[in-house]
């Protein structure tokens, strides 16, 4: 290969790369970066989160922006892979010079970019649930989903009232399922519950009759499933088909009416903890979250034609927290960060947020309500 040809090729490439990377001058806006898993295995999280974020940013801009400055949302699709999240985080921070980053959707990705954002003094409001994101606390890193441990505690509270002491736990092999299973195992003894069998299945499993048969043979009094779609509906259907009459508890990953439709009649009677978005209409009017929830539901459903889910709500909360901070303290990063920590009583979709310098999640046990499925709809769970 002669030198001329080689240089020709390399010159073209360099030109291509540089020209594709050049950007034109933009007007002054407040740049917010977003990294979501819109495609890939976590798309049920990333897709509604992206839609919600875009919807909210458009709404804020149509009202004149924050403190008169319009927002610009720069969103990237990481497909759930950490190396892309790292690459995008660096890109957003160094090239686009974003003020803050919302997301990522999964815990694995968040943990990889936690130190990058902390070093770069860029606010990161994650939509992922792992405790490790805010514990140990990093000054610039926050998260909006509720703690898994609270979900587990809520489930055990109900079990205690029902007198259930022997259960079986099945969880999917992704970060969410494993974290939940870990919490269940840790907290069960505190409520006098013994986990007879705890099994992990591949999140793409299509048939769980095997493990459920095992649980049935051990005569557990209840089954807890910690996973996301599609396994949630499959567990429900398999249990009924195996003629298992024990109650089925699910995680807060069950938060979308579509999963109920998927499971059909098998979904009746499932008990699970969840943010109040799904029962927004039946909340009493003086509930602090009702207004926010009803508005989010209405806006999302009318704009996108699909039901709102609690996952999109995590992005909603992230944006309103940022908006609140900017309104209070302007665009200085250190001041905005402190403003977030001083937020109290902010009603979001996940709950009512009360941050502090030690608590970068802001939600407590009460952010969860216990829901159940009755006649194909979500209703608040009443223990009789």
Query: Rule CB under 8 A: which of 263-282 touch other proteins?
Result: 263-266
DSSP label at residue 45 = H
Would you count residue 2 as binding other proteins (CB under 8 A)?
yes
Would you count residue 245 as binding other proteins (CB under 8 A)?
no
- In terms of residues, how long is the chain? 384
Q: Which stretch binds other proteins (CB under 8 A): 43-51, 145-153, 274-282, 355-363?
A: 43-51
Q: Alpha carbon 23 to chain centroid distance?
A: 32
Among 198, 181, 189, 186, smallest CA distance to 165 is for 189
Give the shortest CB-214-to-other proteins separation in angstroms. Answer: 6
Would you count residue 360 as binding other proteins (CB under 8 A)?
no
Would you count residue 258 as binding other proteins (CB under 8 A)?
yes
Cβ proximity to other proteins: between 196 and 279 the closer is 196
Give the shortest CB-193-to-other proteins separation in angstroms. Answer: 21
Would you count residue 301 as binding other proteins (CB under 8 A)?
no
Q: Which stretch binds other proteins (CB under 8 A): 52-60, 65-73, 198-206, 363-371?
A: 198-206
In angstroms, the CA 287 to CA 280 distance is 10
Give the shortest CB-2-to-other proteins separation in angstroms. Answer: 7
Map the footprint of other proteins across residues 104-163, applying CB under 8 A.
106-109, 111-112, 114-116, 118-120, 130, 136, 138
- For 195, phi and psi rounded to 5 degrees? -90, 110
Cβ proximity to other proteins: between 8 and 379 the closer is 8
Map the footprint of other proteins across residues 200-239, applying CB under 8 A.
200-202, 204-207, 209-211, 213-214, 217, 229-230, 233-234, 236-237
DSSP label at residue 92 = I
* Alpha helix (H) residue ranges in the chain: 3-21, 43-62, 82-90, 107-119, 148-162, 175-187, 209-217, 231-241, 257-263, 290-304, 310-329, 333-341
Q: Where are the beta strands (DSSP E) in 166-300?
A: 166-172, 194-201, 222-226, 248-250, 271-274
């Amino acid at each position: 290969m002669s030198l001329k040809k080689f240089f020709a090729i390399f010159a073209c490439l360099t030109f291509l790369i540089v020209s594709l990377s050049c950007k034109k001058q933009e007007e002054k806006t407040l740049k917010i970066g977003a990294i979501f898993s819109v495609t890939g295995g976590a798309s049920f999280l990333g897709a509604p989160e992206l839609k919600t974020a875009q919807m909210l940013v458009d709404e804020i801009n149509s009202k004149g922006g924050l403190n008169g400055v319009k927002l610009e949302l720069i969103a990237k699709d990481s497909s759930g892979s950490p190396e892309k999240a790292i690459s995008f985080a660096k890109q957003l921070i160094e090239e686009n010079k974003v003020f803050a980053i919302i997301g990522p959707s999964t815990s694995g990705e968040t943990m990889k970019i936690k130190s990058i954002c902390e070093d770069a003094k860029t606010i990161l409001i994650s939509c992922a649930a792992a405790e490790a994101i805010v514990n140990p606390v990093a000054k610039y890193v926050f998260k909006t989903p509720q703690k898994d441990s609270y979900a587990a505690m809520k489930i055990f509270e109900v079990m205690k009232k029902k007198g259930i002491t022997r259960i079986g736990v099945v969880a999917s092999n992704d970060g969410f399922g494993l974290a939940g299973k870990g919490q269940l195992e840790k907290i069960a003894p505190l409520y006098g519950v013994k986990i007879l069998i705890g099994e992990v299945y591949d999140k793409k499993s299509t048939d769980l009759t095997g493990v459920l048969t095992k649980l049935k043979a051990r005569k557990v009094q209840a089954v807890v499933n910690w996973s996301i779609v599609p396994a949630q509906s499959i567990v429900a259907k398999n249990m009924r088909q195996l003629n298992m009459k024990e109650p089925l508890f699910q995680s807060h990953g069950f938060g979308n009416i579509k999963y109920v439709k998927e499971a059909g009649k098998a979904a009746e009677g499932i008990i699970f903890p969840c943010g109040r978005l799904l029962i927004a209409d039946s909340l009493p009017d003086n509930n602090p979250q009702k207004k926010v929830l009803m508005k989010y539901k209405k806006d999302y459903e009318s704009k996108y034609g699909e039901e709102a889910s609690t996952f999109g709500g995590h992005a909603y909360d992230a944006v309103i927290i940022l908006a609140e901070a900017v309104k209070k303290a302007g665009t200085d990063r250190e001041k905005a960060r402190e403003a977030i920590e001083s937020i109290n009583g902010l009603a979001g979709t996940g709950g009512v947020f009360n941050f502090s310098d030690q608590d970068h999640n802001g939600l407590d046990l009460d952010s969860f309500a216990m829901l159940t499925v009755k006649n194909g709809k979500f209703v608040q769970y009443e223990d009789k």
